[in-house]
Structure 1
Amino acid sequence: MSEKPSGDPSSASGLPDDVWEQFIRDTERDIRSSAPKEPSARARMVTERLREQDARGEQPPGWRTGPAWQEMNGRATRRRKLWAVLGVTVAAGLVMVALKPSLLPGDPFGTGDSGTGEAAPLPAETAAPTAAPGASDPETPTLDRPFAGSPALRWADGEAGIVLPEAKSVGAVSADRVEEALKLTKKLLVGTNLDPKTVRGARPAAAFSVLDPKQPELFDELDTGLRSPSREHDPVTLFSRFDPDEVRPAGDVIKTRGRMTFKKGSQGGVAVRADYTFVYPVVRADGPPEVARTIVRRVLDVELADPARYNVTPGRLLLVKYDQEIGNSSCDVYDGYLHPGFPSSRSAGPDPSGPATDPYDRSKDIDHGDGGHCGTVTRT
């Protein structure tokens, strides 16, 4: 095809030789590239294998879906599954909240149920209860939860449990004077039952600072009991004290519940009655961390007298009467301390011979009709 065509004078005379040669080379190259070729043996083998895999539904790596796409699809699938799980969880949670709205933190709907009903704090006591507290779950107290299994779990902590009633005038005694008497009574309760020094067996100086020293017989009796305790002069009849060599507090919380009332006094002032129960969790000072609880109920009658008419110290209380009921403390031990019994060991002192009582029952007056016999407690 390299020869020029003959019989066409115009083409022969009109095209230079070099142009004609280039035309011939390009034409031959195009014909060779477009001509059908016999596939090689390797190409035929690969083609056949792919046809067989396609017939079986298989896809080799990099065929139609490369490895990168497979990874991306895997992550997307996991993400979809995760959202599906979250969706189910959220839906289930919404159903639970609908059935029990208090499950939301802070109880935003004001249902009054914290989600742990037995631990929901009780409102302040404003009147005498009509019955003993209901039964609690039989849980064993621990250092982390020293009030587990006790009605006191729902009581206020320490001083927060001593809520003063609204002060009102009583006869000629002004409301301010009544308020002073209530605050002094609270201070006396704290000094005799909640002050850490008092509870650890030290002299209850804070309590003495509230009482009127112009009751010399009272001061002599209390001082004698603290100095030389005995059956006749036992300081635990007024002060909650534990032997630091025997036990130590299980935490910093003492549970408190009770109420105060007031009326016109007999000495030109205001008389206050305080009825409170205190629950003390303790552990042995040098033993295993086993928690025991002692329950002490105290009833005090005090009066803030009129210093203009009576020989009293202004700003001090007269202690008219005091009484107590103690649960879980060794009987007939008069060393000036409370001695709680632990479940794993037998307490000191004689076996109880009196009636069984519920130390949490605040619906009844303190009863000493057992002839002084030591009774048992139904729970601690």
Structure 2
Amino acid sequence: MSEKPPTPRESSGDDALPDEIWEQFVRDNERDIRSSAPKEPSARARMVTDRLRKEQEAAESAARARGGRRRPAEPEGWRTGPAWQERNGRAGRRRRMWGVLGILVAAAVLLVALNPSRALSLLTGDDGSESTATAPLPAETATPTAAPPSFDPERPTLKEPFRGSPAMRYADGAAGIEAPDATALGGLSKERVATALAATRTFLIESNLSPTTLRGERPEAGLGLIDPLEQDVVDRFTTALAKPDKEHDPLTLFSRFDPRKVVPVGNVVKTRGMMTLAERPGGGATVHADYTFVYPLVKAAPGSTEVARTIVRRTLDVAVLNPKVNRATDGKLWIAAYDVQIGNTVCDAHDGYLHPEFADETPTGPRPSGSASDPYDRSRPLSANGQENCGLLSRT
């Protein structure tokens, strides 16, 4: 007879499965089925896939149009993608920029080392023309062929009293008075000529640059250099210094200012000129001096700030005599000739002082007339300038 197989619940023995194990088996099968079932991609994934497909198709179409082949697209590496390339490009540009900057710095250092003045002009934007315009002139060795060039018409100041004047390039004081080399000449020894040259230079300094002379005191040192045997010259200037008048004017040989009215600005007088040596007819030698002196002054009144300049050009001939032929005192000067041209002084003042005119003063006395002349023009002899001390001036 047949027998019906027993149901799990009816079975017994080791082959029967507990309910917990059976339920666990069912759950595991369901999970495996869900995980292995195909899934529909998300909307964003579909968009990305579609975009990449279109880009690849467009690239392949372009490659075919050019007749070439396009390599299959490869995924971007972490050091080959656009972000990395962009960053690497920026780094490269920075490296190139620092390299160029380094070259420029090195060139600048080299320029400063080789030519500091040029480097300064490049930094300040100055082309050096102003420095050239105010650089000291070389010593005058020949008569100029023309008047000095015009400067900007700038007003002088207490700090820059020679501003706007050719005198800016003149030498300071005694540095502008240079004697030529001595040589035996006209029967005179080299030593005697050298003594005469040195005495002439000292006389020019004492009569035109000495502070005591400039402030109106008696120029004892200058007078003491004149040969006492030249009695007429000694007497003439002794009278002129004691009782000056139109016929006895100490200004023809000495530069003097009235300290009650004006005082110098600073302690520098600008000097320009030269001294020459030549043989005299009949023996001996002549020292010829031709110098221009520029004096900056201000009124003696407290608080005065306006600067005026007086320009004095002098010529002086000193005869160096042969003691074997002429009577002369060793170490003294025989004044053979002298002349003077004064720019910017009050007309018809014969009190023995120079009187510079200031712009804020009301003119008194005769006014200058005639054609204007340049007091800085050293290209013509004094006698050919046609300028009186009261002539019109083109500049001061």
Aligned residue in 2 for 1:304: 320
Q: Is the 8 A contact 1:276 1:297 kept in 2?
A: yes
Aligned residue in 1 for 2:156: 141
Aligned pair 1:355/2:366, yes or no? no
Measured against aligned partners, the alpha-carbon deviations of 1:118-149 in whole angstroms (never above 9, x if no partner) come to: 22000000000000000112221111111110
Distance in 2 (alpha carbons) for counterparts of 1:369 and 1:130: 14
Pair 1:91–1:357, CA change in 2 (3 A): farther
| Largest Rg, 1 or 2 | 2
- Tell me the secondary structure at the aligned position of residue 168 of structure 1: coil
- Range with bigger deviation, 124-133 or 158-167: 158-167
- Range with bigger deviation, 307-316 or 91-100: 91-100
5+ residue gaps, structure 1, are 1-82, 106-112
TM-score by length of 2: 0.67
How big is the shift at 1:306? 2.1
Aligned residue in 2 for 1:79: none
Pair 1:234–1:373, CA change in 2 (3 A): closer
Return the match for 2:239 from 215, 218, 224: 224
Q: Is the 8 A contact 1:181 1:270 kept in 2?
A: no
Aligned pair 1:152/2:163, yes or no? no
Pair 1:120–1:353, CA change in 2 (3 A): same
Aligned residue in 1 for 2:80: none
Aligned pair 1:245/2:256, yes or no? no
How big is the shift at 1:372? 5.1
- Tell me the secondary structure at the aligned position of residue 297 of structure 1: strand
- Tell me the secondary structure at the aligned position of residue 233 of structure 1: coil
What amino acid sits opposite 1:357 in the alignment? S
- Tell me the secondary structure at the aligned position of residue 232 of structure 2: helix
Distance in 2 (alpha carbons) for counterparts of 1:89 and 1:286: 57
1:317-356 residue pairs with structure 2 within 5 A? 317-356=333-372
How big is the shift at 1:249? 0.4
Distance in 2 (alpha carbons) for counterparts of 1:342 and 1:93: 49
Distance in 2 (alpha carbons) for counterparts of 1:233 and 1:352: 22
Distance in 2 (alpha carbons) for counterparts of 1:251 and 1:89: 45
Aligned residue in 2 for 1:61: none
Q: Is the 8 A contact 2:343 2:389 kept in 1?
A: no
Distance in 1 (alpha carbons) for counterparts of 2:148 and 2:159: 23
Distance in 1 (alpha carbons) for counterparts of 2:131 and 2:387: 42
- Tell me the secondary structure at the aligned position of residue 216 of structure 2: coil
Distance in 2 (alpha carbons) for counterparts of 1:88 and 1:344: 58
Q: Is the 8 A contact 1:340 1:347 kept in 2?
A: no
TM-score by length of 1: 0.70
**Residue-pair matches, total:** 290
Measured against aligned partners, the alpha-carbon deviations of 1:63-105 in whole angstroms (never above 9, x if no partner) come to: xxxxxxxxxxxxxxxxxxxx9xx98996896698699863458
What amino acid sits opposite 1:376 in the alignment? L
Aligned residue in 1 for 2:60: none
Return the match for 1:366 from 360, 365, 382: 382
What amino acid sits opposite 2:348 in the alignment? D
Pair 1:114–1:371, CA change in 2 (3 A): closer
- Tell me the secondary structure at the aligned position of residue 377 of structure 1: coil
Aligned residue in 1 for 2:212: 197
How big is the shift at 1:347? 4.1
Distance in 1 (alpha carbons) for counterparts of 2:108 and 2:393: 44
Matched residues, percent identical?
Answer: 52
Q: Is the 8 A contact 1:114 1:120 kept in 2?
A: no
Pair 1:222–1:104, CA change in 2 (3 A): farther
Q: Is the 8 A contact 1:128 1:363 kept in 2?
A: yes
How big is the shift at 1:289? 1.6
Pair 1:267–1:181, CA change in 2 (3 A): farther
Distance in 1 (alpha carbons) for counterparts of 2:293 and 2:153: 20
Aligned residue in 1 for 2:45: none
Distance in 2 (alpha carbons) for counterparts of 1:357 and 1:260: 24
5+ residue gaps, structure 2, are 1-97, 121-127
What amino acid sits opposite 1:183 in the alignment? A
Distance in 1 (alpha carbons) for counterparts of 2:389 and 2:353: 19
Distance in 1 (alpha carbons) for counterparts of 2:145 and 2:307: 30
Q: Is the 8 A contact 1:292 1:342 kept in 2?
A: yes
- Range with bigger deviation, 299-308 or 157-166: 299-308
Pair 1:373–1:289, CA change in 2 (3 A): closer
Distance in 2 (alpha carbons) for counterparts of 1:163 and 1:126: 10
Distance in 2 (alpha carbons) for counterparts of 1:136 and 1:312: 47
Pair 1:153–1:93, CA change in 2 (3 A): farther
Distance in 1 (alpha carbons) for counterparts of 2:200 and 2:330: 14
Aligned residue in 1 for 2:79: none
1:1-380 residue pairs with structure 2 within 5 A? 102-103=117-118, 116-266=131-281, 268-287=283-302, 288-367=304-383, 370=386, 374-380=390-396
How big is the shift at 1:314? 1.0
Distance in 2 (alpha carbons) for counterparts of 1:371 and 1:326: 9
How big is the shift at 1:177? 2.2
Pair 1:277–1:254, CA change in 2 (3 A): same
- Range with bigger deviation, 292-301 or 307-316: 307-316
